[in-house]
Amino acid sequence: MNRRSLSIPAAALSAVLLLAACGGSSATTAPSVGGVTPTTAAAKTAALPTSGAVPTVAPTEAQPTSPDATQGPVSAPSFAADNGLAAKFPTMIDGQPVTQVQTAIFADVLQQTGGSSDVNIQTLTQTLAGIGIDFSNMSFGSAQATVDGESVAITALRTPNTDATKIIQNYGLIVTAFGSAPETMPTMSPSTISGKNVTLATDSDGTTTVLYVTGDTLFILQNMTDSQTAKVVAALP
């Protein structure tokens, strides 16, 4: 069974998203928000908001409290959602509902979670501006679906008012700005799946990620069989 698996592109461009989407459990269980349960060890990734919501994650016992106990515990950060991106995820795939749709503004997450310690936001903003992408409103999202009886994850990046093809065309420049440049860049090749134009990003070890652009949004499909990929692409706008 041929399974298309994530190699580099999604990991480099949406690492924060993937950390949050994977969730996980810890010794102290935090409340679930938007379908994501943050771990104590990864508190700075926090739960991403569902469409139209800006939740505040209730703290666990392991989270720091303020010096003045009367002020109460310190809450984890919360992020504004991108409703425009959330609306682009299909509601049904393979006869099953799409669930756990989550979105956030990329810069907002980096600034609030300390991600700028690894990524120079100013340099990143300038680099993206040079290719016509406004990083201040660039967003990312994720959703879950059951296809061929198995759970699959769909991730996406949105560059409002800008053709998201620019992300693919400038992949090397972007991942370098993110500080995630691989030793060998993947080979980008055009293809067609379910009658739609896609790009196959093939790593040096042969693993392939399917990249599908529709307007200002890039969908990233990973760890799916050919059958699952075809059904997901067919359902995308």
Report CA Rg, the chain: 18
What pLDDT is recorded for position 119? 53
Confidence at 33, pLDDT banded by 50, 70, 90: very low
pTM above 0.75, yes or no: no
Is the dihedral angle over the CA atoms 45, 46, 51, 53 positive or is it negative? negative
Confidence at 40, pLDDT banded by 50, 70, 90: very low
Contact 57, 38 (CB under 8 A): yes
| Torsion of Cα atoms, 42 then 118 then 15 then 206, to 10° | -130
Least confidently predicted of 26-30, 183-187, 231-235: 26-30
- Is 52's pLDDT higher than 80? no
Q: Which residue has the higher pLDDT, 49 or 202?
A: 202
153-196 residue pLDDT tens: 999 999 999 999 999 999 888 877 777 667 788 889 999 999 99
d(CA 42, CA 149): 30
Which distant-in-sequence residues (6+ apart) come within 8 Å of 93 by Cβ? 145, 146, 147, 231, 232, 235
- Is 28's pLDDT higher than 70? no
With a pLDDT cut of 90, the percent of the chain lying above it is 42
83-128 residue pLDDT tens: 999 999 999 999 999 999 999 998 888 777 765 545 578 888 898 9
- Is 36's pLDDT higher than 70? no
Confidence at 2, pLDDT banded by 50, 70, 90: low
What pLDDT is recorded for position 25? 28
